[in-house]
Structure 1
Amino acid sequence: MTDVHLPAPEREVSGIRALLDDNPIMGESRAGARRFWTGREEKLLREHYPQGGVSLCLQHLPGRSASSIYNRAGQLGLRKQDERGRITERQAWTSNDRIDAVILRTFQGNPDKGAVKRCAAAVNRPRWWVSKRAQQLGLVSPRFKEPEWSEAEREIIAEFAHRPVKTLRQMLASKGFRRSETAIIVKLKRLGADRTDPHNLNANQLATVMGVDRKTVASWIAKGWLKATRRQQSESDDFWKIHRRDIRRFIVDTIAAVDIRKVDKFWLVDLLTDREAA
């Protein structure tokens, strides 16, 4: 495992933005099935983030980058607070004379979408922020703006981010919130929401963590060993929906068909110790 120099404590005081720009990571980055957050990792995140923020969590979560820790903490509703109860670790985009000058040159020529994108890359800011800054500088007329997202709305789409956008829109509507599907997609991106379904895998995902190809998974389903449902009418195995408890039951009941040497051990331990999957 390769150690990466962590930022000094005063770096946190200067703002989370500097830390996320560096985006340090302890050890090797997680890839494949290991990119999924486990229950153990989330427990460590809940334990350490409120006290020490991203910097402290980097020490307890090897393989997780600063940005991935920050985004996951946001999805779980975690905040780092000081002694006075103020939130001290929030990403904020700022401007300066150089950035404003670049935006001014771009928007003086009635730019298209590509020009705005290049401008955003030049100033190292999101495209939406550049457009908003241009409005603040009086370079473009403000468009109709949707009402601010309420905390209740953010909680709904963060908790159920893995659901289809159409379903999210219906869920919001049932609570009295009217949002377009486009607005929901944009908000999910800005929140950095993890759209991976925590309770279900498709055939490709299961094949990856089991160390087999998806045809093998399809054969388990065809033989009735592994319970699965289709998310829509399709001949593609990608549309299989397989619940974690059914995967656990399959492994326990049909262990002879599973080559344990090929299974991702971290994922397997998390699955077998998950009470909800039991």
Structure 2
Amino acid sequence: MSEPRLSPRYVPGRRSERFWTDDEKAVLREHYPTGGAKACQARLPNRSITTIFQQAGKLGLSAPKQPEKRTRHEYSPELDERIRAAWPTLKGKGAVAALADTLQVPRWWLTKRATKLHLTMPHKKEPAWTEAENALMRNVPLHDPDRCAKIFREHGFNRSPTAIVVRAKRLDISRRTHETLSARAAAKILGVDDKHVTALCIAGDLVAGRRGSKRLAQQGGDAWAIEPQDLRRYVLDHLKRIDIRKVDKLAFVALIANEAA
């Protein structure tokens, strides 16, 4: 039985809603410089504020500058008593915002004041990363964040999979497994299409394994993992099949040169 589609079926002649029409762009050019994103959204209800901001930026449009309004909200014993009385009764999403509207204070101020009054626990920031953790980042399988988190716990560090992925980005460490090549990387070296390399792997002409990724069947299944020496052996055994005019010359030469390394 075939797997369900991940994307809607293509309909010829149908235009996707994510593309902006000329009429919509005309609305932005007319109203964004004077009324900002809200004025445009009133005329384009199907567009969110975020997408209006993004499209206006692409068009080089600037919204009118808003005057700075800074209001200092002072606390008082009476206000504190109202907060203490109402806070235990808050239930459900939006309850804090509703109380802030009732007290006529910003939501952030109310949350901060509740923390000062010991009505809620303060948000704990992520502890700073140590040199030992940064060094461990370069020795864990970053392509599998769950396994990385387990390794961190085994070393006495409590880091979530998400925190590890974010840290890898900040340290500019690639999460890819550099010891192996993907089908696309191998195809680039050979100067062929990705599907051609996939067919070679399936047929067994090119020795390849799997990365152990969590890709679904609709996404092509688990990604191929090709050892450089196996790709090099394939090239040497089937040199007549390689069209030198189409290969990535630098990568091709580097692959072959490693034979003597």
Q: TM-score, length-normalised on structure 1?
A: 0.44
Larger RCO (alpha carbons 8 Å, 6+ apart): 1
Rg larger in structure: 2
Higher helix fraction (1 or 2)? 1
TM-score scaled by structure 2?
A: 0.46
